[in-house]
Every structure is written in structure tokens, then in C-alpha cells.
Amino acid sequence: MATDLLINATSYEVRIALIEHGNLVEFHVERPTEKGLVGNIYLGKVVRVLPGMQAAFVDIGLERTGFLYVDDVHISTDALEKRINNCGDRTTTCCDHEPPDSLAVRTPGQSIEDLLHEGQEILVQICKEPIGTKGARLTCNITLPCRNLVFMPMTDHIGISRKMDNELLRQRLRKEIEELRPAGTGFIVRTVAEDASRQDLEADMEFLLHLWSEIRDMAEKSTPMSMVYEDLDIILRVVRDIFSPEVDRLVVDDPKTYQRVLTFIQTFAPHMYNRVFKYDQNVPIFDAYGVEMDISRALDKKIWLRCGGYIIIENTEALTVVDVNTGRYVGKNDLEETIFKTNMEAVREIAYQLRLRNIGGIIIIDFIDMETEGHREDVFRALSEAVKKDKSRVNILKVSEFGLVQMTRKRNREDLVNMMCEPCPYCGGDGLLKSNRTVCYEIFRRISLGARNISGPSVTIRVHPKVAGMMLKEEAVTIHNLEDELQKTLTIIPQKDIHMEKYEIVWESGEQAAEESGSQVASGGRGK
């Protein structure tokens, strides 16, 4: 089946879906109010240097200061070579120029105090989006991507995508870049340049050199803590980075966006021009391709497997936990075989969900315990194979005796759930509420405590209808005993507009007191 890249563009939101063999494998969304920042260049101001962490906070004019590691201030050619080798080809949007993690390749003898001081103005680029409470990750090693090349103006280096395994092709491309590039500049040849001609490379290089000249001129005129260069929007960025020869069709549903894409393709990839199509059917493009259902499924915590088992994906601030269960699957022969088949099917679904949801950081997978060592090895190999199509860098440790797999996945931006959802205002993101019985007993304790200090013949309790139902039925005996003990009448009033964990206790303290000061109210529950 074909591989399609779909663009659904409106004035308030842009959604992009990559469909492989009829399945949604990547989903990108950008809203004008939440536009991505990776690739933007700023003239920043150092506000704090942290010798203990060998890093600095840099104010670039955003809500939170950016974080700059010492190895992202200056890097030698040898260190860069090591980084490129460690990095490989895997990134979120560009598979050839991701800045790898600096802490993993710390350059010996380099001190942040020798490179930066408070108040210093410095040109930086965002290489990692602000996530949660963390500010943007910054680098001084500027990279400017184009269709076939990535320009590194601060580095004297030539790199070739590791996905090109033809050694003769690699040598030819390296020789051509060496002949074309200005002395002291750096370029990485991207995977899509495999079929690029010398003229294509030269055109990209000329464009990037001109762009860098404009950025430098703009930086000289800019004031500190301001943006110098804004990267392409998500539409052209995805066309540049994802619309490769492996994609059969690029389908756009908005006429203006369609013309923008065509103009861009004519300039940077004219050989792909005939693969761009305008969608003009009455049915919305994402409904026609079944994408809406896949997006909704990607927000669920529980995902069913075809065999009848299921996986649970739980996100925390520090890591993501994936739990595998047999569910309705009972197998045919023996328990070990049932467990192994469930784990093997879960492997494919987990790799798919990690890529689709863009889950990054530390990931712990709790497979069902397998007694056979060979089965654990098979599951590990299957997982390693399943993540090969993922553009983000993935590291996986072998399955432990407890069936646990520890892995990391490069995180450059918010995952899909955090982009499209927000914490529940009732439970604060816990996903749990107090049970009706717990709320009942909490109310009983509050009434018993308050009765010692407040006189009056009756107490009115306003609660959610479900809590009221439990009080009047299952806890009717408790209510009766409490009335006898306190010598007060308890009146329970259901209220539909009250939260299930909240309640109001109104003490009637005598007619005269009620007329003068009204009723004394005690409220309880989270979110009050």
C-alpha cells in the first residue's frame, strides 16, 4: 500500500499525518498560539552561570530562561565527529542534524566560567522545546537545514548521513561538498540527497550561505533577548524533512496551503512536483483516511491488541510506564506460549504507539513474565527491530528476569497527550477520585467533630446525587445511629451541580442566629 502525507490546514490549526500501509504512524499538530520553537535563533543574554552544573541560564525573551550546557557553547571538530557518530540519523523532524545530548559527550578541561559571564550577549538556537516546567534547551552550534544539506556555520566539518550505505556514493558526495564549500564551514549531507545532482547541492549551499549572511546582519541590528531568525512553519518544515522519495503522495486540503507547498517544492524538490495533490472532496480529509479515529485512540490509556490482550500506557513527570496484560486472550496450548504470543504482539503495538504519541525520555515496559530465556531474547530482538523506523534515537536494554525492559527515546517536543490534553481540574491529573463511601465517612467525621461546638437541632448536607444515594440507602443505618448519638436531625440534599468529592455542611444554630448571621457552612473535597 502507498505511503501518504496528509495536510489538514485551517486558520486556527494545522494537522499533519503520515500514513504507512493504511496506518497513522506520525501525527503533528501546530496552533498559532502554540507554535513550535525548535530551530529559531535568538540573541540571548546570560543571566546566570552555574559552575556546579557546567551550564548557564540564558534569557531569550521567552517566559522561561533557556538552558545552555558547556558543550553547547563551544565544541571541537573531534568532539563533533564523536557526536555525529553517536547520534546517527534519528531526529524528530530532520534525520540528519539532531544536536545530541551534551552530557553524554562532555569535553574534558572545558569550563563554563571561562566561556560565559553574566550579562554577556550570545547568539543561540533552540534545539529542544520547553517541556512542562523546563525552559528551552539551547546551543551555540547553529544548524540551518535545507532540502539536501544541513549547514553548520560554526564548524569545519563534512558529514554524510549514515543511512547511505553505498561507500562509493558517500565518497562522491564528500568530494563534491569539499570542492563546493567555503573554507572553515561545515555541511552534513542528508539522506534525501542520495539522488541529488551536483547542481542541487550547489543550489542548497548557495541558499544556506545567503541565509546565514542575513542572520548575521540581523543579529548585529537586534537588541538582546529578541528573536533573530524564525524557522519554517510546520507545513514547510514537514515537506522539507518528511516528504522524501519514500512518500508516494502529498495531499493538501487547503487551496492557499496547496499553492505554498507547490511553490516550495518547485524550488527545492522539483522532481517531487507531480506527487503533490489537492484534496477537494466533501468528506473531511482526515475522516476519509480514517485518521480521526486513530488520533482518538492515541489519546487512550488502554489499547487493545488483536489477540485479546491489551497494554496500559501511564505517563509520569519522570518516565512513562507501559504494562502488558493477557486480557481476554486465553491461548490454545500452554500458559508460556500464551504469554509469549501476547508479548510479541504487544512489541509491535508499543513501538507504534511510542512513535505516534511521540513519547520520550525514560520508558519502562512491563512485559508478562516469561520463564524461557529464549522467549525473552526473541522479545528483545523484536522490539529492537520494531523501533528501526522511528526517526527519534532509541536505546534499549535487554529484558530482565522480571520481564522489564528499560529504554530511552529522544524527546525534542511535547508528546501528543500533553499537546492535546490538559490535567483534569477535579482530580489534578491523578486520574482518580475519592470513592462515594470515602466521601460519606469524611462527612460523618466532620459532623461528629462540629457537633461538639455548634448547638442547634438540625444539620443540612448538600452532596452529589451519587453520594446522597449511598447515604440514604447503604449508609441509612449509620445516619440513624449518628442522629441518635448527636441528637440532631440530618437532612441530605442531592445537588447535580456539585463535584463528587465536594460537599457542604450547613449547621442550623437556632432561629435568631440564622436570621442574623445565616448558616455556618463547612465545605470539603479537592478542588473546592
What pLDDT sits at residue 346? 94
Q: What is the mean pLDDT of residues 450-479?
A: 89
Q: Give per-residue pLDDT as tens, 62-99.
A: 889 999 998 888 655 454 444 444 443 433 333 333 33
Has residue 385 been placed in a domain? yes
Instruction: Confirm whether 430 is domain-assigned.
Output: no
* pLDDT given at position 302: 92
Chain CA centroid to CA 194, Å: 30
- How far apart are the C-alpha atoms of 426 and 445, rounded to whole Å? 22
Domain co-membership, 396 together with 263: no
- Least confident stretch, 225-229, 285-289, 407-411: 407-411
Same domain, 269 and 337: no
Query: Are residues 142 and 73 part of one domain?
Result: yes
CATH number at residue 61: 2.40.50.140
Residues 328 and 374 in one domain: yes
**Which is more confidently placed, 526 or 163?**
163
Query: What is the number of domains present in the chain?
Result: 4
CB distance 505 to 459 below 8 Å:
yes
Average of pLDDT values for 458-483?
Answer: 92
Q: Is 100 found in the same domain as 51? A: yes
Give the per-residue pLDDT at 399. 85
Q: What is the pLDDT of residues 472-523, one digit of tens each?
A: 999 999 999 999 988 888 999 999 988 888 999 988 764 333 333 333 445 5
pLDDT of residue 1: 63
DSSP label at 131? B
Sequence-ordered list of residues with C-beta below 8 angstroms from that of 326, at least 6 positions apart, any chain: 308, 309, 338, 339, 342, 368
**Residue 193 confidence (pLDDT) above 50:** yes
Residues 162, 61 within the same domain = yes
> Per this entry, what is the length of the chain?
528
Same domain as 21, residue 55: no
Output the CA–CA distances (angstroms, integers) from residue 464 to 216, 222, 436, in the order listed: 63, 58, 9
pLDDT at 190: 87
pLDDT at 345: 94
pLDDT of 410 reads 84
Angle at the Cα of 87 (from 115 to 413), degrees rounded to 5? 80
Q: Which domain holds residue 456?
A: 436-524
Closest C-alpha among 32, 150, 44 to residue 89: 150
Judgement on whether residues 160 and 26 belong to the same structural domain of the protein = no
**Residue 82 resides in a domain:** yes
**Location of C-alpha cell 546582519:** 217
Q: Which of 229, 254, 280 is the last residue of a domain?
A: 229
Q: What single letter denotes the amino acid at residue 45?
A: K
Name, in order, each residue with C-beta under 8 angstroms of 267's C-beta and a sequence gap of 6 or more.
none
Cα(412)–Cα(95) distance, integer angstroms? 13
CA distance 19 to 1: 10
pTM above 0.85, yes or no: no
Q: Would 428 be classed as within a structural domain?
A: no
Q: Is residue 426 part of a domain?
A: no
Q: In this structure, what CATH number is given to the domain that contains residue 10?
A: 3.30.420.60
44 and 179 co-located in one domain: yes
Among 374, 390, 420, the domain boundary falls at 420
pLDDT tens profile 93-127: 333 333 333 333 344 557 888 888 899 999 999 98
Query: Is 425 within the bounds of a domain?
Result: no
- pLDDT number for residue 109: 56
The reply to whether 210 and 251 lie within a common domain is: no
Residue 328 lies in a domain: yes
For the segment 311-332, what is each residue's pLDDT rounded down to a tens digit?
A: 999 988 789 999 999 888 776 7
Residue 294 has pLDDT above 50, yes or no: yes
User: Whole-angstrom Cα distance, residue 396 to residue 407?
Assistant: 4
User: What are 347-356's pLDDT values in tens digits?
Assistant: 999 999 999 9
Report the alpha-carbon distance of residue 364 to residue 223 in Å, rounded.
45
Burial code (b: 16+ CB inside 10 Å, e: under 16) for 93-124 equals bbbbbbbbbbeebeeeebebeebbeeeeebbb
Do residues 122 and 184 both lie within one domain? Answer: yes
- Specify if 429 maps to a domain: no
Which of 137-146, 231-240, 415-424 has the least mean pLDDT? Answer: 415-424
Give me the CATH number covering residue 509: 3.40.1260.20
Give the alpha-carbon dihedral of 167, 172, 174, 180, to 10 degrees: -170
Q: Which of 34-38, 295-299, 514-518 has the lowest mean pLDDT?
A: 514-518
Residue with the larger pLDDT of the pair 487 and 5:
5
Point out the domain boundary residue: 393, 420, 447: 420
Indicate whether 138 and 210 sit together in one domain. yes
Give me the torsion for CA of 133, 134, 136, 139, rounded to 10°. Answer: 170
pLDDT of residue 311: 95
